Amino acid sequence: MQDIPELAAPDDSKPEQQQKPSAIGDAAPAAEPAQPVVEVVPSVEELLRTAELAAQEHHDAWLRAKAEADNIRKRAQAEIASAHKFAVENFASELLAVKDSLEAALATDNTAVERLKSGVELTLKQLTSVFEKFNLTEINPAGEKFDPHRHQAISTVESDAEPNTVVQVLQKGYLLHERLIRPALVTVARARGS
């Protein structure tokens, strides 16, 4: 038998040598180049259309808000006008009883003076009650210092009273919730000899 030469088996004990590229041609295959990211830019016409739609939406919203504000303003004006028109409704309804009492007193035939007087006093009580209910306060400043904010001097008279004091009330004044409705018409004292 002939001896067959054995082929040398690769030596597994040696680490494999890494091939180093020695030249450009021997370069390792490079990763594929990255594809550039291409953003799709909308055309000017598309941008204009989008802007016009947004502007139209804003315009419509503005018109709705303006119409709503106009409606609120008109409603408020109507409510204020109604409040002014009917502000004295409760007051007027309370005064009807006073008027009824006065008419009843005048409708009676052969009324004695005393009966008429008691009827008028009762009617005055009704009227005073209505005034109190609606905070209508009487100003009767006899003997008080003259207050130009609440009194209107008609004349001055020499008096023993302290100067600038109300000596006579010609017509009472009235306040409604501390607001002057009518000043009291008064005569004011002045020092003697002045």
What does the pLDDT look like over 55-92, one tens digit per residue?
999 999 999 999 999 999 999 999 999 888 888 888 88
Inform me whether the pLDDT recorded for 1 exceeds 70. Answer: no
DSSP H helices in the chain: 44-86, 89-107, 113-133
Mean of per-residue pLDDT scores for the chain:
84
Contact 135, 176 (CB under 8 A): yes
- The predicted structure's pLDDT at residue 3: 58
**Which residues are CB-contacts of 126 (< 8 A; sequence separation ≥ 6)?**
97, 98, 101
Is 0.75 topped by the overall pTM?
no
What is the residue whose two structure tokens read 């030596």?
A: 11
- Return the bridge partners of 184, or none: 151
135: pLDDT strictly greater than 70 = yes
When mean pLDDT is compared across 84-88, 127-131, 144-148, 162-166, the lowest value belongs to 84-88
Q: What is the rounded CA–CA span in Å between residue 86 and residue 68?
A: 27
pLDDT the model gives residue 106: 80
What domains are there in the chain, each with its CATH number? 136-194 (2.30.22.10)
% of the chain exceeding 90 in pLDDT:
53
Alpha carbons within 13 angstroms on the beta-carbon side of residue 68 total 6
Q: Among residues 161, 8, 84, 116, which one has the least CA distance to residue 186?
A: 161
Q: Which residues of 80-100 are buried (b: 16+ CB within 10 A; e: fewer)?
A: eeeeeeeeeeeeeebbeebee
143, 165 Cβ separation under 8 angstroms: yes
7-47 pLDDT, tens digit per residue, is: 555 555 555 555 555 555 555 555 666 777 767 778 899 99
Instruction: Assess whether pLDDT exceeds 70 at residue 116.
Output: yes
Predicted pLDDT of residue 139:
95
* The pLDDT value given to residue 42: 80
- CA 55 to chain CA centroid, Å, is 31
pLDDT attached to residue 8: 54
In this prediction, residue 41 carries a pLDDT of: 78
Evaluate the CA torsion angle 150, 154, 160, 163 in order and state its sign.
positive
CB burial of residue 151 (10 Å; 0-12, 13-18, 19+): buried
Q: Which comes out higher in pLDDT, residue 178 or 35? A: 178
Q: Which two tokens stand for residue 100?
A: 């009824």
Average pLDDT over residues 117-143: 92
What's the confidence (pLDDT) of residue 70? 97
Mean pLDDT value across residues 83-105: 86
Residue pair 146/165 in contact (Cβ under 8 Å)? The answer is yes
Which pLDDT score, from 0 to 100, does residue 101 have? 87
